[in-house]
Structure 1
Amino acid sequence: MISEIEKYSVGWTDLAEASTRNAELLKELALDKQSLRKLAIGAWENPTLRDMCEQTRQLSRIVLHDALDRGFRLRLHLWNDFETGYPHNHRWSFSTRLLSGGYHHTLYESPSGFDSPSRNDADGVELITRYRTLESAGGGYTLHHDTVHRTETTVDTVSLLIRGPVEKRRALTADPGTGKFRFSLGRTMETPPEVAARRMSSAQFEAMFARLEKLGIL
């Protein structure tokens, strides 16, 4: 399985084709616990991948493989229990597969234009719920980077994710509490303290690894 990942490449122009191919790879990897375990250990032993591993308010993530020159980066996510996200989009398209747990997933339409280049706050942004479902273990989906969505996790939610290259300068998150947007511009636009605050520590990695073992993921 690892040799397949090392040769894998994907284009995102045809999102349907990317979705099909990514879903097949994620399904195979999810069933190959030995390879998944080796990738996780290898990521922590690789200085470049280790530097990309992060723990945030929403989740802990290990970057298992980085090959943006071939169109993808592979990540393993352990979500915080009962985490409710805000409506947001991404700077890149992605495919994901849930390995355990699940989350309520809401997709939105924004007639007023969620990601207008001149928009700096959420005032006047209209979000209409287009689709809502419960994503559960064994399921998955692919989202275009312009899609606005929100997740509400259940207990022990773990997912694999294949993300594509950056397609735009910023991603936006609407905060209903403040009526403002939070901007995600990527590491290159962040200060060293901001990056360091999210960087995963050895203790955090060990705790995540142990929990994934207990859940039977690794």
Structure 2
Amino acid sequence: MSTTPIVAADHAFPRFVAEALRGNDSRPSLLQLEAAAEHIRGARRAFAAWLRDLAADRAAVAEIAKRSYWHPNGFAKVVLHTSIEPEFRIRLHVWPRSEMPSRGESNPHSHRWEFASHVLAGTGMHMVEFAETSEGGKPYRRYRYGADPADPASLTADGEVRLRRRGVPHVQSGDVYTCDTSIVHTVRPIDAELTATVVVQGPRRTPTTVVYCEPGESDDQPNFDLTGADFGELVSELLASLDSEVAP
């Protein structure tokens, strides 16, 4: 019997996801991203096994930590896997258990890429979708993310607008949610318990995206480094939550 450890980078799970995305075009469509998220929903134990293997692979942990970060509102954006052919990413967003409900991503924003997301752990996600309006609504300052070639992560001022609510979708535990580049929304967990979503992110479709801040709110909202130890703790807490779901 071989004792050679599994190399996380060569794990079968991301290859299975890639197969769900593979088609005539190397740039997956939103429908293909949704199919991949549905695949993950149906293979939660395989996903958990992949997480365990990643956490046990020092090189993989170092690489994941390098491309991941803590959002200023206190949740982790973890890039587990990147692929060029087909072009996609598998991301894990984790809101650790806390005494207060997380604000999530409280600034209305859009995305440069399409994605499909599966609620892996927790009660679910509360979202509010917005649209710019000439009458009513609330005033915001609009910024462009990715507009400055010298500093792609900075926000560039792009005028003052008003936003109105156009929908309040809730995504429950186990659900799959899709989002295209036209959607402007905020996202937060429904409660203060551990919440995690798996995001299958497609290729970039637009050069910039929009972020809105309320008047007087600073646009300086830096991300924070995520360490290998942080990743290990998040995976440990998440796996414990998943194991408790299937315990007899």
TM-score by length of 2: 0.67
- RMSD after superposition: 3.2
Conserved 8 A contact 2:62-2:228 = no
Residue 205 of structure 1 deviates from its aligned partner by: 1.8
Q: Which segments of 5 or more consecutive residues in structure 2 lack a partner in the other structure?
A: 1-11, 135-141, 148-155
SS of 2:162 mapped into structure 1: coil
CA distance in 2, matches of 1:121, 1:69: 35
SS of 1:86 mapped into structure 2: strand
Equivalent position to 2:17, from 5, 30, 40: 5
1:53 aligns with 2:61: no
CA distance in 2, matches of 1:175, 1:27: 34
1:175 aligns with 2:213: yes
CA distance in 1, matches of 2:32, 2:18: 17
Stretch deviating more after TM superposition (29-38 or 162-171): 29-38
Greater fraction helix: 1
Equivalent position to 1:109, from 112, 128, 131: 131
SS of 2:92 mapped into structure 1: strand
SS of 2:40 mapped into structure 1: helix
CA distance in 2, matches of 1:127, 1:49: 36
Deviations 1:52-100 (A, max 9, x none): 1222223213322111431210011112552221111112111100012
SS of 1:83 mapped into structure 2: coil
Stretch deviating more after TM superposition (197-206 or 39-48): 39-48
Equivalent position to 2:81, from 49, 52, 65: 65
CA distance in 2, matches of 1:43, 1:108: 42
Q: Which segments of 5 or more consecutive residues in structure 1 lack a partner in the other structure?
A: 184-193
Equivalent position to 2:181, from 125, 130, 145: 145
Greater fraction strand: 2
Residue 43 of structure 1 deviates from its aligned partner by: 8.2
**For residues 48 and 120 of structure 1, do their structure 2 counterparts lie closer, same or farther at Cα, with a shift above 3 Å needed?**
same
1:199 aligns with 2:225: yes
Percent of aligned positions that are identical: 21
1:27 aligns with 2:41: yes
Say how many residue pairs are matched: 202
Equivalent position to 1:90, from 98, 111, 120: 111
CA distance in 2, matches of 1:141, 1:105: 11
Conserved 8 A contact 1:8-1:70 = no
CA distance in 2, matches of 1:148, 1:163: 16
**For residues 201 and 40 of structure 1, do their structure 2 counterparts lie closer, same or farther at Cα, with a shift above 3 Å needed?**
same
Larger Rg: 2
Deviations 1:85-130 (A, max 9, x none): 1111112111100012222111122246x7888x82451x222212
